[in-house]
Structure 1
Amino acid sequence: MHNFDVIIIGGGASGFFTAINLAMQNPDVRIAILERSNEVLSKVKISGGGRCNVTHACFIPNMLTKYYPRGEKELKGPFHTFCTGDVMEWFSERGVSLKIEEDGRVFPESDNSQTIIDCFLNEAENLHIKVIKQTIVQQLSKEENLWKIETSKETYQAKQVVMATGSNVKIWDLLKTVNHTIVNPVPSLFTFNIKDDRIKDLMGVSTEMVSLKVKDAPLKASGPLLITHWGMSGPAILRLSAWGARELFQKNYQFQLIVNFTNDLVFDEVLDELMQLKQNNPKKTIYKHAHYGLTMRLWHQLVQASGITEAMIWADVPKKQLVKLAEQLTKATFNVNGKSTFKDEFVTAGGIDLKEVNFKTMESKLQDNLYFTGEILNIDAITGGFNFQNAWTTGFLAANAIAAKY
């Protein structure tokens, strides 16, 4: 039997952040991190294409929470305690320079995730945090005042246990044995599979701003759109997939997507503008001049889908065809048939029911001295550094709460 004061299960971002912040406040507390694989911080390594998207430059807590489809309400208090600016200062104090990119994402100046990993590993070593790899947790039980953790190798005991295992189904099942409720996990942040002649040869074409909605559902999103060889991606699609994670799962990812390529103009406004173009440019060829900020290739496809030929000039286009073009521009309907994972940034909606956690301390409301941090909770965000911010904030709060007990 190996005894520690605190055992953190999961050697990822929130696990290390919890351990380091706790050890800084209480150097005498014996802390161990248990990791099932032979490598720690693997998600940190691949994040942001190997650059590690540490957080997002949104410094106002109530605005920051708006990026979380699940967890918005619960994270308001925590973000008032430890937010983006605090994270940036934390890394700066440890010699890690960060930079804010144009889209608000925050990266190490080195553009290398290894900088973040090295920072954590050095801190853990200096603070005498024991990191135990290739150790799979198999059972969790309470014996008097202590937690007993049986693993594939050894048995451990600790007064406090922090669960920082991310979206791990086996650990969720284990937590059911200590009466916790798991909100069923479903994918979030995915792209849409669409086969449609209008976008068939447009791989790599993007639009600055579109509005999307799912037919017969209250799901909407807006932002840039990217056409891929399998369908559609880009920020607008990823937002829709995040907020619609549960509903789209129930639809088995078979639904109709309505795209407004003009973003905020409605059908009547666009039809009026097209009629005006017809009046002002009677001799110009419709096909040759793109409008509404669309690329020429996308404009060509929408024009052809409206029954307008390449040679047609504005003067010769009947109103019926302009009505069709206005429809293609403002409410083009695409059949979605399945989804694809977005890069390596796989995110799951689901996890520990948030009603069972005290968000001042990250402690379980059902079990004393059991804490949850990061993505093991039913919290997820869109891409851009927000999921890491959740890991840092919840880890910081858990560390503070445990430190106060010593």
Structure 2
Amino acid sequence: MNANPDLQTRVAVIGGGAAGFFGAIQIASGNNVSVTLLEKGKQFLSKVRISGGGRCNVTHHCLDPEPLSKNYPRGERELRWAFETFGPRDTIQWYESRGVLLKTESDGRMFPVTDSSETILEALFQEAKRVGIKLKTEMEIHSVTPIRNDSGKILKFQIKLKSEEILEYDKILFATGSGRKAWGWLQAMGHSILDPVPSLFTFKISDPRLEGLSGLSFETADCSLVDFNHSQAGPLLITHWGLSGPAILKLSAKGARELFEVDYKTVLRVNLIPGLKKEEVRKTIEKEKENHPSKLICNLPVLGIPRRYWEKILEINSIDFAKKWSGLSSKDLHLLTEELTNARFLISGKGEFKDEFVTCGGVNRKEVNFKTMESKVVSGIHFAGEVLDIDGVTGGFNFQNAWTTSYIAAQGILTSIQNGQRAG
């Protein structure tokens, strides 16, 4: 870095979360640049600290950009190419080169081997100190304004604090997450903001098939939002308020905006035997009838269905527990096949997913150059993380979005500085 502050480009990073902190480190690693990280709260990286139950789900061990990008209901196309520049493999290498080893769990999520987010925080703070970032907390910003010359060219940016103090910077990286106030500043500059709505949540369902079964899970189910043509396979969990589990959380992200628009009232279709066609399921049930005619139906759940759920669907469909398999009627056979492959539930609202709060919405992706993360509306403004209309499903994908977009934004800022110096 150049020792003469007068020759340094002044960059402000607004937002001290994962995207802002990582982006600030990348920018400050360049030459002739002074980086100030502004955080409105009392501490940096608060979400990183509590994520994954305090373990920090750093990324996901999906190293191929193509399937990786499929985990982003909004931003898939743009991130597909962004991950070529900086993906999970780069994230793993960055942390490991700083002494932080990561491990991969059975579902692909990656955590520090220490199982403590403090390991991640320590690495980031050490790096921030090494590259000389000015860290400022409790910075309540009132407004952000571009200052232009007579021809309309932006000369600098003024950040006015609530204390009336005015700070001036040459470039700004917005990493403000789902902050409505920051979106307001950006709107005032001419950016369009897609209204934020919740993503990643559970479904509230009041249905006799689920009553008394809280905690019961299915290894794999195919869940679909019938009205919106969204589907998702994965583990399914019955809760005391309805349905949850990876399949539901990922499905909620895919249908976040449509669900919001119908006030979270729609139909959920559940196939508990996704590996077989409906006809195959029916034949399997018929086979049980042939093989065990004298046994009670309630004592022989089919296809790995948990006994408690099997008994519940028998009860709901008025199939007597004392009935033997030989007494199974064609109507009973049809009802059971439908329950296992085509069950319909009425969603009445949304619950919460406390481990990870995510919204969809933010700065319109069409207004951003994803090769540099620079605004197409206001030159000198760059973006990273959830300030954009990008969100991922649960499993470390939102943090990877933060690392990726902040890295690209930093490279874009540094390249712009170098080009400006050459031109000068």
TM-score (norm 2): 0.93
Q: CA deviation at 1:83?
A: 0.8
User: Which residue among 18, 36, 58 is the counterpart of 1:54?
Assistant: 58
Match of 1:152 in 2: 162
How far apart in 2 are the matches of 1:114 and 1:46? 10
How far apart in 2 are the matches of 1:271 and 1:78? 46
**Residue identity matched to 1:107:** F
1:194 aligns with 2:198: no
**Residue identity matched to 1:178:** M
1:19 aligns with 2:30: no
Q: CA deviation at 1:149?
A: 0.6
1:377-388 pair list within 5 angstroms: 377-388=388-399
1:178 aligns with 2:207: no
User: Is the contact made by 1:61 and 1:83 (CA closer than 8 Å) also made in structure 2?
Assistant: yes
User: Which residue among 92, 98, 102 is the counterpart of 1:94?
Assistant: 98
User: Is the contact made by 1:211 and 1:264 (CA closer than 8 Å) also made in structure 2?
Assistant: no
1:3-402 pair list within 5 angstroms: 5-26=10-31, 28-144=32-148, 145-153=155-163, 154-402=165-413
How far apart in 2 are the matches of 1:357 and 1:31? 22
**Residue identity matched to 2:291:** N
How far apart in 2 are the matches of 1:394 and 1:340? 30
User: Is the contact made by 1:4 and 1:32 (CA closer than 8 Å) also made in structure 2?
Assistant: no
Q: CA deviation at 1:4?
A: 6.9
The sequence identity of aligned pairs, in percent, is 46
User: Is the contact made by 2:285 and 2:302 (CA closer than 8 Å) also made in structure 1?
Assistant: no
User: Is the contact made by 1:207 and 1:293 (CA closer than 8 Å) also made in structure 2?
Assistant: no
* Partner-residue secondary structure (3-state), 2:33: coil
**Residue identity matched to 2:17:** G
User: Is the contact made by 1:306 and 1:328 (CA closer than 8 Å) also made in structure 2?
Assistant: no
How far apart in 2 are the matches of 1:59 and 1:264? 26
Q: Alpha carbon RMSD of aligned pairs, Å?
A: 1.4
* Partner-residue secondary structure (3-state), 1:74: helix
Q: CA deviation at 1:236?
A: 0.8
Q: CA deviation at 1:276?
A: 2.2
User: Is the contact made by 1:306 and 1:322 (CA closer than 8 Å) also made in structure 2?
Assistant: no
How far apart in 2 are the matches of 1:279 and 1:237? 36
Q: CA deviation at 1:30?
A: 1.1
* Partner-residue secondary structure (3-state), 1:135: coil
How far apart in 2 are the matches of 1:261 and 1:61? 30
Q: CA deviation at 1:266?
A: 3.6
Instruction: After superposition, give the CA deviation of every residue in 1:148-207 in whole Å (9 maximum; x if it has no partner).
Output: 011123311100100000001111111100000001111110000011111111111100
User: Is the contact made by 1:4 and 1:157 (CA closer than 8 Å) also made in structure 2?
Assistant: no
Instruction: After superposition, give the CA deviation of every residue in 1:133-162 in whole Å (9 maximum; x if it has no partner).
Output: 111221111113100011123311100100
Instruction: State which drifts further: 326-335 or 6-15.
Output: 326-335
* Partner-residue secondary structure (3-state), 1:25: coil
Q: CA deviation at 1:25?
A: 2.5
Unaligned runs of 5+ in 1: none
Q: CA deviation at 1:124?
A: 1.1
User: Is the contact made by 1:4 and 1:156 (CA closer than 8 Å) also made in structure 2?
Assistant: no
How far apart in 2 are the matches of 1:87 and 1:216? 38
Instruction: State which drifts further: 382-391 or 338-347.
Output: 338-347
Q: CA deviation at 1:92?
A: 0.7
* Partner-residue secondary structure (3-state), 1:75: helix
How far apart in 2 are the matches of 1:294 and 1:380? 34
How far apart in 2 are the matches of 1:214 and 1:125? 48
Unaligned runs of 5+ in 2: 1-7, 149-154, 419-424
User: Is the contact made by 2:228 and 2:255 (CA closer than 8 Å) also made in structure 1?
Assistant: no
* Partner-residue secondary structure (3-state), 1:368: coil
* Aligned positions, number: 404
How far apart in 2 are the matches of 1:302 and 1:114? 47
**Residue identity matched to 1:116:** I
How far apart in 1 are the matches of 2:117 and 2:385? 19
